Amino acid sequence: MIDATDETFEGDVLTSELPVVVEFTAPWCRPCHAIEPFLAELGREHEGRLRVVRLDIDANLRIPARFAVLSLPTVILFSGGEPVEVIHGAQPRRRYAEAVARLLAA
Protein backbone atom coordinates (compact mmCIF):
# COMPACT_ATOMS: atom_id res chain seq x y z
CA MET A 1 0.00 0.00 0.00
CA ILE A 2 1.40 3.38 -1.05
CA ASP A 3 1.12 6.36 1.30
CA ALA A 4 0.22 9.36 -0.88
CA THR A 5 0.25 13.05 -0.01
CA ASP A 6 -1.26 16.16 -1.56
CA GLU A 7 2.05 16.58 -3.40
CA THR A 8 2.35 12.99 -4.69
CA PHE A 9 -1.32 12.29 -5.44
CA GLU A 10 -1.13 13.24 -9.10
CA GLY A 11 1.75 10.83 -9.77
CA ASP A 12 0.50 8.10 -7.46
CA VAL A 13 -3.10 8.17 -8.68
CA LEU A 14 -4.12 10.56 -11.44
CA THR A 15 -1.35 9.70 -13.93
CA SER A 16 -1.02 6.04 -12.95
CA GLU A 17 -1.14 3.61 -15.84
CA LEU A 18 -2.82 1.13 -13.49
CA PRO A 19 -6.29 1.47 -11.97
CA VAL A 20 -6.02 2.80 -8.42
CA VAL A 21 -7.96 2.22 -5.19
CA VAL A 22 -7.55 5.15 -2.79
CA GLU A 23 -8.46 4.87 0.87
CA PHE A 24 -9.00 8.22 2.56
CA THR A 25 -8.12 7.61 6.19
CA ALA A 26 -6.92 9.14 9.46
CA PRO A 27 -4.88 7.70 12.34
CA TRP A 28 -7.85 7.98 14.74
CA CYS A 29 -10.33 6.23 12.39
CA ARG A 30 -10.95 2.71 13.70
CA PRO A 31 -13.16 1.64 10.77
CA CYS A 32 -10.34 2.75 8.44
CA HIS A 33 -7.92 0.46 10.27
CA ALA A 34 -10.46 -2.36 9.99
CA ILE A 35 -10.65 -2.20 6.18
CA GLU A 36 -6.94 -1.67 5.49
CA PRO A 37 -6.13 -5.41 5.58
CA PHE A 38 -8.87 -6.03 2.96
CA LEU A 39 -7.46 -3.35 0.67
CA ALA A 40 -3.85 -4.46 1.16
CA GLU A 41 -4.86 -8.04 0.38
CA LEU A 42 -6.63 -6.95 -2.81
CA GLY A 43 -3.51 -5.05 -3.81
CA ARG A 44 -1.38 -8.18 -3.33
CA GLU A 45 -3.91 -10.37 -5.21
CA HIS A 46 -3.87 -8.02 -8.20
CA GLU A 47 -0.22 -6.95 -8.05
CA GLY A 48 0.90 -5.53 -11.38
CA ARG A 49 -2.73 -4.82 -12.38
CA LEU A 50 -3.88 -2.57 -9.52
CA ARG A 51 -2.39 0.06 -7.23
CA VAL A 52 -3.69 0.61 -3.68
CA VAL A 53 -3.03 4.02 -2.13
CA ARG A 54 -3.77 5.46 1.31
CA LEU A 55 -4.11 9.20 2.00
CA ASP A 56 -4.21 10.63 5.54
CA ILE A 57 -6.81 13.42 5.51
CA ASP A 58 -5.42 15.03 8.66
CA ALA A 59 -2.01 15.59 7.05
CA ASN A 60 -3.33 16.33 3.55
CA LEU A 61 -6.21 18.75 3.15
CA ARG A 62 -6.29 19.64 -0.56
CA ILE A 63 -7.01 16.25 -2.13
CA PRO A 64 -9.84 15.23 0.24
CA ALA A 65 -11.48 18.62 -0.40
CA ARG A 66 -11.05 18.20 -4.15
CA PHE A 67 -12.91 14.89 -4.08
CA ALA A 68 -15.49 15.99 -1.46
CA VAL A 69 -14.44 13.42 1.14
CA LEU A 70 -16.74 14.16 4.07
CA SER A 71 -16.71 10.90 6.03
CA LEU A 72 -14.28 8.13 6.83
CA PRO A 73 -13.47 5.71 5.56
CA THR A 74 -14.05 6.74 1.97
CA VAL A 75 -12.62 4.59 -0.80
CA ILE A 76 -12.51 5.98 -4.34
CA LEU A 77 -11.63 3.80 -7.31
CA PHE A 78 -9.85 5.58 -10.19
CA SER A 79 -9.34 4.55 -13.79
CA GLY A 80 -7.42 6.73 -16.20
CA GLY A 81 -7.14 9.41 -13.54
CA GLU A 82 -10.91 9.69 -13.11
CA PRO A 83 -13.00 8.52 -10.15
CA VAL A 84 -15.31 5.71 -11.26
CA GLU A 85 -16.78 4.46 -7.97
CA VAL A 86 -17.01 5.68 -4.38
CA ILE A 87 -17.55 3.48 -1.32
CA HIS A 88 -18.51 5.25 1.92
CA GLY A 89 -18.06 3.68 5.33
CA ALA A 90 -16.55 0.37 6.33
CA GLN A 91 -17.95 -2.45 4.20
CA PRO A 92 -17.42 -6.20 4.07
CA ARG A 93 -14.37 -7.41 2.10
CA ARG A 94 -16.71 -8.74 -0.59
CA ARG A 95 -17.89 -5.19 -1.41
CA TYR A 96 -14.33 -4.01 -2.10
CA ALA A 97 -13.51 -7.18 -4.06
CA GLU A 98 -16.57 -6.69 -6.28
CA ALA A 99 -15.67 -3.03 -6.89
CA VAL A 100 -12.09 -4.00 -7.81
CA ALA A 101 -13.39 -6.70 -10.18
CA ARG A 102 -15.55 -4.09 -11.94
CA LEU A 103 -12.63 -1.67 -12.08
CA LEU A 104 -10.30 -4.26 -13.63
CA ALA A 105 -12.94 -5.45 -16.10
CA ALA A 106 -13.56 -1.93 -17.45
Q: Find the CATH number of the domain harbouring 46.
A: 3.40.30.10
29 flagged as catalytic: yes
Q: Domains in the chain: how many in total?
A: 1
Catalytic residue (choose from 4, 13, 21, 29): 29
The predicted-structure confidence for 9-66, as pLDDT tens digits, reads as follows 999 999 999 999 999 999 999 999 999 999 999 999 999 999 999 999 999 999 999 9
71 flagged as catalytic: no
Do strands 74-79 and 20-25 pair parallel, antiparallel, or not at all (unpaired)? antiparallel
For residue 3, being part of any structural domain is answered with yes
pTM, entire model: 0.96
For residue 106, being part of any structural domain is answered with no
Catalytic residue (choose from 13, 32, 39, 77): 32
Domain of 41, in residue numbers: 1-10+27-90
For residue 103, being part of any structural domain is answered with no
Contacts of 7 (CB under 8 A, 6+ apart): none
The average pLDDT across 70-94 equals 97
Distance of CA 11 to the CA centre of its chain: 14
